[in-house]
Structure 1
Amino acid sequence: MARFFSTIFLLLALAFVAEVSGSTNGDFYRPAGAEGSVPIQECPQKCDYRCSATKHREPCLKYCNICCQKCLCVPSGTYGHKEECPCYNNMKNSDGKSKCP
């Protein structure tokens, strides 16, 4: 009988850990700014903030959204921090310059 209860306890504990970690559906935690951290429907909102401090708002929004939709990430802040998202950081335009703002 004691073995039965210890088995039940173990199964409940494992279910709790899986639920807390979010690993039951294959999703893994991604910190803000990391690749895959932004659902595609949130790209416009994230890019709106990313481009809020620039004078060149329209091109910033255009390229930020292109990069976000491909990388599913936008670096934190309004400038810099591109190392948070290597995909975003490594996208280049035809001149070899950074495509993503």
Structure 2
Amino acid sequence: MPEMRFRITWPDGTPESCYSPSLVIKDYFAPGQTYPLGDFVARSREALSIASDRVKARYGMPCSLALGQLARIEATSRRYATDPAASVTVDGFDE
């Protein structure tokens, strides 16, 4: 199963490298695009859930790394939740 990393920048300028066990992330994000915080979290939730489900279908267990990445994204996003202009930029993909 092809895994990948997607690089993002949080609203305060902090970069992060995020993990996905599947290339499905490319269906939800485009390099160089900026997404409103809520949209970014919703897209991440959907894409990483699909990625985890693909691992489960193949290996019989959901992907704990994908679910852990989603939990980190959700936790970090809460820091910026009070800023209505908060957005996240997807800087690129590393396969």
TM-score for the superposition, normalised by structure 2: 0.28
Asked which structure has the greater CA Rg, the reply is 1
RCO (CA 8 Å, sep 6+): is it higher in 1 or 2?
A: 2
Structure with greater proportional helix content: 1
